[in-house]
Amino acid sequence: MRNLSRRNALTLGVALGLVSATSVVPAEAAAGTDPWWVWDDEVDALVAGLVDSGRIPAVNTALRSWVDNGDPLPGDLPADLAAHLQRVNRLPSWADVTKLRRAADFNRRKDTYLFLLYGLGSGIMSTVIPREARSVYWSAGGADMQDRAAKTFTFGYDLSEAGAFEPAGQFVVTANKTRLVHAAVRHLLPQSPRWRAVADERVPISNGDILVTFHSLGTFVHRKLREWHVPMSAADEEAFLHQWQVAIHLLGVREEFIPRTWAEADAQAARVLTPLLAPTPEGKELAADLLGLTAQIDLGVTRGFLNEFVRYVLSNEVGDWLGLPRDYAAATLVRTGWPAYIAFREGLLPIAPAGFFLFDQFVRALAMLFLNKGKSSTSTPITIPTGNRPGA
């Protein structure tokens, strides 16, 4: 699967994450510090100044040539922005390169499941996280979900690539660009009367919000892989965790909030993600847009099969929230055939089960949606917004 074409992702996937290494302070250990009231103050002030002075278009043009981790910074950036990027465009001192390389190999070996879980799982789950759905919908990206999804997936693709954290990789740069985007959204969305009318926070994308998004990705995917009995060594699991920890650090999450183990991550998710899941008008519209993008691709399955797979991955409750019509024949096929498909792929069944080729075609087509939806072979650049959704 990994030898499918490079990235140009018009995709559903979202790509944020969080995890831990043994050198990180226990989650939420800082006395009196609440991640829901922690943002990214220095970067937020820097980007707000760039937005208000009208310099973002020139910055986006300059940053377009800054792609690989080892690339020099563009020479025509504002001095304060260049100084910031020079300081943060590097791995933290506690990053373990050996684990990061093992994580890249794990991503390669398990990409069949990762494509599906990040897309039909995490991507659709994001639409029933009320704060995230409202922030996405009322920001500039919510008005063009194809473009927004493509830019979001650039983050995930770069994270999953072999050598993602090496000088020739692109993830560290991509993470720093995403951090600038978050800062711009934090400045712009509070200026939207439409967002303020529905939001229960005064500034979006706090450290707490990013943690919630992580749990809808890293923690969720890890849990599903275990539920599906996908073989993983302890070293693989630790590496996958460490990869996401480095990623979330690069997005500006304080180390004291980052779980050290999967057990801590599961416990944190039970507190900050699961109780929050709920439908919203914005989320329902976003989910319809995302599933509509997927349905436009020839996946080799019916729309009923696609809806039932979303229900299988997330739950019937989420499917009901999103108004996904039932297809009970497809539901039976998914719930009996998918476990057998995994067992055959992992060498636990000697003979391909009934429906194997249907599932194989579905997963391969979904991977093509992630990697290349028929346009150019170049990636979709991450750009800093200058406004909110039209009419917001």
State the total domains in the chain.
Answer: 2
Residue 139, helix vs strand vs coil: strand
Q: pLDDT at position 106, please?
A: 96
Residue 23 lies in a domain: no
pLDDT below 70 — which residues of the chain? 1-32, 150, 152-153, 368-380
Asked if the structure places residue 17 within a domain, the reply is no
Q: Are residues 69 and 107 located together in one domain of the fold?
A: yes
Do 346 and 268 lie in one domain? The reply is no
pLDDT for residue 160: 83
Under DSSP, the state recorded for 4 is S
Residue 1 maps to a domain: no
Are 306 and 269 within one domain? no
386 is a domain residue: no
Query: What pLDDT score does 3 carry?
Result: 34
Tokens of 338: 């998918």
Q: Are residues 71 and 213 in the same domain?
A: yes
- Residue 311's CB is within 10 A of a number of other CB atoms, namely 23
Residue 26: predicted pLDDT? 40
Is residue 19 assigned to a domain? no
214/73 Cα distance (integer angstroms): 29
135-172 tens-digit pLDDT = 999 999 888 777 777 676 677 778 888 899 999 999 99
Residue 26 falls within a domain, yes or no? Answer: no
pLDDT score, position 372: 54
State whether 109 and 187 are in the same domain: yes
- C-alpha span between 289 and 194 (Å, rounded): 20
Contacts of 380 (CB under 8 A, 6+ apart): 8, 9, 10, 147, 150, 151, 153, 154
Instruction: Answer yes or no: do 76 and 120 share one domain.
Output: yes
Closest residue by Cα to residue 238 from 260, 253, 211? 260
Residues facing 115 on adjacent strands: none
Q: Which residues contact 309 (CB under 8 A, 6 or more apart)?
A: 116, 120, 334, 338, 362
Q: Assess whether 186 and 315 both reside in one domain.
A: no
Domain containing residue 331: 297-371
Backbone CA torsion sign across 187, 190, 195, 201 = positive
317 shares a domain with 246: no
Which residues are CB-contacts of 258 (< 8 A; sequence separation ≥ 6)? 18, 19, 20, 24, 27, 245, 248, 249
Verify that 41 and 104 share a domain, yes or no: yes
376 class by beta-carbon count within 10 Å (0-12 exposed, 13-18 middle, 19+ buried): exposed
Q: Are residues 272 and 327 in the same domain?
A: no
Last residue of a domain, one of 211, 246, 276: 276
What pTM, to 2 d.p., does this model score? 0.88
pLDDT given at position 29: 39
**Is residue 211 included in any domain, yes or no?**
yes
pLDDT of residue 25: 37
In-domain check, residue 291: no
Do 261 and 240 form a contact (C-beta atoms < 8 A)? no
